[in-house]
Amino acid sequence: MSRLPLCTFRQMARILRQLGFQLVRHEGSHAVWVHADGRITVVPDHPGEALGRGLIRRILREIDLTIEEYIRLR
């Protein structure tokens, strides 16, 4: 299995918007995203840095998205 591709905050935000999530709060370096069906995730916003693979996996679990779907949306 190949390594999970990294992404930045902006790329993850675009994916979340495509899936119907809305940004409800952005305090400091953390953005809270909520879906109408109740799913919630927090994505750190550190400009110029990619999100770590472990963090991406946690976000994907929280939003019920498979790795294959993530790669396709990316």
Handedness of CA 5, 11, 15, 18 (dihedral sign): negative
3-class DSSP state of 52: coil
**pLDDT of the residue at 17:** 98
pLDDT on residue 3: 87
pLDDT for residue 54: 95
What tens digit of pLDDT does each residue of 20-36 get?
999 999 999 999 999 99
Pairing state between β 40-44 and 30-34: antiparallel
Which amino acid, 1?
A: M
Tokens of 54: 């472990």
* pTM, to two decimals: 0.92
Pairwise CA distance, residues 69 & 27, whole Å: 28
Where are the domains positioned within the chain? 9-73
- Positions in the chain whose pLDDT score sits under 70: 1-2
CATH of 9-73, one of 3.40.50.11540, 3.30.920.30, 2.40.40.20, 3.30.2270.10: 3.30.920.30
